[in-house]
């Protein structure tokens, strides 16, 4: 199986990643990809403990994504973010942060939320759990419900690395909802290097296969040279006889079909 799009990657704007956007695009060219997307962290972990709470100026990287060419060095470039799921209601980071000033400090006539500002220029969102404290003590039903509610945000295309969530949820219910709502479950190459996530991911992939839920294979790399490298994920898909037509990002055309099905075509 060949996979020609990498749709969850990080640049230096994620702070614990190491490559510039242009280095990443060039790496996508070198890897023979048709389509590349940067999805930097949109998360409290970037600038924790700011007095007064999260500040739009810390996230201004997301406000100017229109400057990126849609085709760069011959590769199609998409603009996204990996947004943190922050509570059991399935809210994304910044949903409750009012923004009443622009990045230059001027008062706005129409206040928005940090989440709305950041998502405005994003083509789509990968929604993931990182900090897991809010899940402590949650029942399987509650974690399941959290993932279902995440899908209510129309910009969410992908549930990122559900295998790294250390709390039980009903995989079949989440996978079926993702399928029915035309979204994607992620098969994350980086998860497959970790014992427990790899074990959980294997089960998720089996259920996606049996329930015919589309998936997206992503590197989730934090450095350019790993862009487009999906060796472990492809080996797993082959081993499990995973139907190729359910892999949304095998070509740029198939990824655009998935975006269109989710109502996110560009
Ligand atoms: Zn990261
Ligand atoms: Zn992540």
pLDDT at 49: 86
Q: What spacing in Å lies between the alpha carbon of 232 and ligand 2's midpoint?
A: 18
Q: What spacing in Å lies between the alpha carbon of 214 and ligand 2's midpoint?
A: 19
Ligand with an atom nearest the CA of residue 14 = 1
Say whether pLDDT at 265 is over 90: no
Strands 156-159 and 124-128: parallel
Q: What spacing in Å lies between the alpha carbon of 160 and ligand 2's midpoint?
A: 6
Q: What spacing in Å lies between the alpha carbon of 119 and ligand 2's midpoint?
A: 17
Cα gap 64→70, rounded to integer Å: 13
Query: Taking residues 199-213, what's their average pLDDT?
Result: 98
Q: What spacing in Å lies between the alpha carbon of 109 and ligand 2's midpoint?
A: 35
Say whether pLDDT at 32 is over 90: yes
**Residue 184 CB burial class (10 angstroms; 0-12, 13-18, ≥19):** buried
The domain segmentation of the chain, as residue ranges, is 46-70+81-215+230-261
pLDDT at 257: 98
Cα gap 216→212, rounded to integer Å: 13
Ligand with an atom nearest the CA of residue 45 = 1
Over the stretch 90-135, which tens digit does the pLDDT of each residue have? 999 999 999 999 999 999 999 999 999 999 999 999 999 999 999 9
CATH, domain range 46-70+81-215+230-261: 3.20.20.140
Q: What spacing in Å lies between the alpha carbon of 147 and ligand 2's midpoint?
A: 15
pLDDT at 87: 98
pLDDT at 266: 84
Q: What spacing in Å lies between the alpha carbon of 49 and ligand 2's midpoint?
A: 20
């Amino acid at each position: 199986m060949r996979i020609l799009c990498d749709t969850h990657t990080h640049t230096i704007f994620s702070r614990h990643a190491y490559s510039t956007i242009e280095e990443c695009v060039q790496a996508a060219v070198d890897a023979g990809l048709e389509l590349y997307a940067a999805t930097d962290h949109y998360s409290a972990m970037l600038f924790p403990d700011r007095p007064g709470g999260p500040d739009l100026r810390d996230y201004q990287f997301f406000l100017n994504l229109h400057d990126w060419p849609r085709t760069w060095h011959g590769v199609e470039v998409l603009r996204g973010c990996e947004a943190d799921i922050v509570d059991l209601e399935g809210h994304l980071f910044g949903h409750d942060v009012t923004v009443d000033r622009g990045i230059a400090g001027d008062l706005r006539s129409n206040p928005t939320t940090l989440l709305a500002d950041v998502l405005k220029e994003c083509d789509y969102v990968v929604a993931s759990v990182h900090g897991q404290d809010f899940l402590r003590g949650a029942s399987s039903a509650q974690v399941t419900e959290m993932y279902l509610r995440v899908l209510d945000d129309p910009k969410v295309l992908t549930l990122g690395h559900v295998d790294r969530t250390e709390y039980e949820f009903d995989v079949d219910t989440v996978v079926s909802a993702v399928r029915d709502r035309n979204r994607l479950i992620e098969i994350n190459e980086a998860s497959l290097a970790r014992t427990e996530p790899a074990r959980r991911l294997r089960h998720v992939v089996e259920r996606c296969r049996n329930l015919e839920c589309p998936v997206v294979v992503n590197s989730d790399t934090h450095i350019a040279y790993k862009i487009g490298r999906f060796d472990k994920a492809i080996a797993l898909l082959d081993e499990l006889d995973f139907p190729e037509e359910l892999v949304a990002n095998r070509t740029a055309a198939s990824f655009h079909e998935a975006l269109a099905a989710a109502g996110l075509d560009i």
